[in-house]
């Protein structure tokens, strides 16, 4: 900011900047689905049978509308009914390929060790911390009661009672939004230090929540407002002519990069061990295209054109992530390390049925606010909700002149390999891209993700230690 009186940059008039001091996360581990009871399974299959009799000869949209009406009447999840209907597979209680290594851990007990690690490692004055801002999707059960404040009241927490707690639900971008909120408070001078992050126990609280009563005026205004996320990926695969083979090649690369990062210890510095678990357990070094080809489409049957399979979808996982933010002046005065500066952020909205394309507009707005081009970005973390969704974003960016260099994208793998614990993913993306910049010497990093319900979000960070190469 220019000082008119002195005609140069003046510390009294310079706007404060928010910086990331440090970032940590838990391992992301495969969720153990709690599964519905036998009576619920029976009700869903009865609904599927009824819908099948009503939709003979109907269009896809009419089938979806009728399916929703029947599901509402029988008090079962409309996604369970519709997916079983279009996939041609009877509904069964979902199972897990592993017992869920962190399924028994209360989500708050994933958060507090991260808080304590950041505070212990960076030796900050605890009474300078203004608040904890925590992203949590589906705030009910063990994830309810304002978890951010519960992280202060927890018996093992190092935080003093003076610290506020704010819980945020912006679906997949919840913890990216918490960083955005924290940065805004710091820039306005309302805080010196803030902890921001997110958590999700998908073992404890099922996808969509355990009691997802959607307002009828939302549900009935457009049957696709909250359609199953896998079907939104199928829509993008169709709209952008993305083949199953292309999706599987993308998923293979995600696993290969994540496995390499694990083997080389690239992720060790950001992971805090929880009850002896110290690595992401969905990453597979042995994954192959031949193995992927054997899987059936998960959301839309093959004879209806389905191409999205479990292998090309991000696995349901449990995990938490957390960053410590400070004002740049506070960090300097207290000799705190600076991992990255927050440069710009943006959100966007799009049609819910193609929610996965949301990052495109969000990135465009963030780049404009930062006065940057995509070619200026040195590292990109794009949340891989689905391979089809990620490929659609890459293609749409190309069409709009924002070409993404594959060598800069998710260089340590992405959510298809690591998993996507909804409330925790955004902070992982921002924190990890900051670490990548430190490692590679790049200047600008971009983290972005799609959001259920038809949104996108993006954030740009800068490496404070960047030095141009001679």
Distance CA 117, CA 113 (A): 6
What sign results for the dihedral spanned by CA atoms 113, 18, 172, 163?
positive
pLDDT at residue 10 in the model = 41
Active-site hit among 282, 350, 397, 450: 450
Between CA 66 and CA 387 the distance in angstroms is 29
Residue 44 lies in a domain: yes
Per-residue pLDDT of the chain (470 residues; tens, 9 = 90+): 334 333 433 443 458 999 999 999 999 999 986 556 666 777 788 888 888 888 787 777 777 788 878 887 777 877 788 778 777 777 776 654 556 899 999 999 999 999 999 999 999 999 999 999 999 999 999 999 999 999 999 999 999 999 999 999 999 999 999 999 999 999 999 999 999 999 999 998 888 887 777 788 887 777 677 788 999 999 999 999 999 999 999 999 999 999 999 999 999 999 999 999 999 999 999 999 999 999 999 999 898 999 999 999 999 999 999 999 999 999 999 999 999 999 999 999 999 999 999 999 999 999 999 999 999 999 999 999 999 999 999 999 999 999 999 999 999 999 999 999 999 999 999 999 999 999 999 999 999 999 999 999 999 999 999 999 87
* Residue 202 belongs to a domain: no
Q: Which of 138, 154, 255, 420 is catalytic?
A: 420
Q: Is residue 59 part of a domain?
A: yes
Q: What is the pLDDT of residue 366?
A: 98
Answer yes or no: are the C-beta atoms of 297 and 243 closer than 8 Å.
Answer: no
Q: Is residue 84 domain-resident?
A: yes
Beta strand pairing call for 129-136 and 455-462: unpaired
* 450 flagged as catalytic: yes
Does residue 250 fall inside a structural domain? no
Structure tokens at 460: 């740009």
Q: What are phi and psi of 116, to 5 degrees?
A: -65, -40
The domain total for the chain is: 1
* Total residue count of the chain as it appears in this document: 470
What is the pLDDT, as a whole number, of residue 77? 78
Q: Is 282 annotated as catalytic?
A: no
Burial class (CB in 10 A: 0-12, 13-18, 19+), 394: buried
User: The domain containing residue 55 runs over which residues?
Assistant: 36-93
Phi, psi of 215 (to 5 degrees): -55, 130
What b/e sequence results for 317-329 when a residue is b if at least 16 CB atoms lie within 10 Å of its CB, and e otherwise?
bbbbbbbbbbbbe
Instruction: Select from 421, 385, 380 the least CA-distant residue to 207.
Output: 421
d(CA 387, CA 312): 5
Identify the three-state secondary structure at position 451. strand
The answer to whether residues 317 and 282 touch, using CB atoms and an 8 Å cutoff, is: yes
Residue 79 counted as domain residue: yes
Taking alpha carbons only, the member of 337, 392, 397 closest to residue 366 is 397
- With respect to residue 118, please indicate whether it lies within any of the assigned structural domains: no
C-alpha to C-alpha distance for 196 and 170, rounded to whole angstroms: 14
Residue 399 belongs to some domain of the structure: no
Is 172 a known active-site residue? yes
Catalytic pick among 154, 172, 282, 432 = 172
């Amino acid at each position: 900011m220019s000082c008119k009186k002195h005609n140069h940059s003046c510390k009294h008039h310079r706007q404060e900047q928010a910086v990331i001091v440090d970032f940590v996360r838990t391992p992301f581990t495969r969720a153990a689905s709690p599964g519905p009871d036998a009576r619920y399974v029976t009700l869903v299959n009865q609904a599927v049978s009824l819908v099948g009799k009503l939709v003979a000869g109907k269009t896809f949209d009419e089938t979806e509308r009728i399916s929703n009406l029947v599901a509402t009447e029988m008090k079962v999840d409309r996604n369970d009914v519709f997916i079983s209907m279009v996939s041609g597979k009877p509904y069964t209680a979902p199972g897990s390929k592993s017992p869920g290594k962190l399924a028994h851990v209360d989500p708050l007990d994933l958060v507090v060790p991260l808080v304590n690690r950041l505070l212990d490692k960076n030796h900050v004055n605890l009474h300078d911390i203004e608040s904890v801002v925590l992203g949590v999707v589906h705030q009910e059960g063990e994830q309810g009661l304002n978890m951010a404040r519960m992280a202060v009241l927890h018996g093992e927490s190092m935080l003093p009672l003076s610290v506020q707690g704010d819980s945020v639900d912006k679906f997949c971008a919840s913890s990216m939004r918490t960083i955005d909120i924290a940065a805004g408070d710091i820039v306005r001078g309302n805080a010196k230090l803030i902890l921001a992050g997110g958590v999700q126990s998908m073992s404890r609280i099922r996808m969509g929540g355990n009691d997802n009563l959607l307002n009828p005026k939302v549900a009935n205004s457009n049957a696709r407002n909250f359609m199953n996320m896998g079907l939104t990926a199928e829509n993008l695969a169709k709209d952008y002519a993305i083949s199953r083979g292309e999706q599987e090649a993308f998923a293979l690369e995600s696993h290969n990069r994540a496995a390499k990062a694990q083997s080389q210890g690239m992720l060790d510095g950001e992971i805090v061990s929880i009850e002896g678990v110290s690595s992401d357990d969905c990453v597979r070094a042995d994954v192959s295209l031949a193995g992927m080809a054997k899987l059936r489409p998960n959301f839309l049957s093959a004879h209806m054109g389905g191409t999205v399979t479990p292998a090309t979808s991000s696995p349901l996982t449990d995990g938490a992530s957390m960053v410590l933010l400070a004002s740049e002046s506070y960090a300097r005065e207290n000799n705190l390390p600076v991992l990255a500066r927050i440069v710009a952020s943006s959100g966007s909205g799009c049609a819910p049925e193609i929610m996965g394309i949301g990052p495109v507009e969000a990135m465009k707005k963030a780049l404009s606010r930062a006065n940057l081009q995509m070619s200026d970005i040195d590292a990109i973390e794009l949340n891989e909700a689905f391979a089809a969704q990620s490929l659609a974003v890459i293609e749409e960016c190309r069409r709009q002149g924002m070409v993404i260099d594959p060598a800069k994208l998710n260089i340590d793998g992405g959510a298809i390999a690591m998993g996507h614990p909804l409330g925790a993913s955004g902070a992982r993306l921002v924190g990890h891209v900051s670490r990548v910049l430190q490692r590679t010497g790049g200047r600008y990093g971009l983290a972005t993700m799609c959001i259920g319900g038809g949104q996108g979000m993006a954030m740009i960070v800068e490496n404070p230690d960047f030095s141009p190469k001679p």
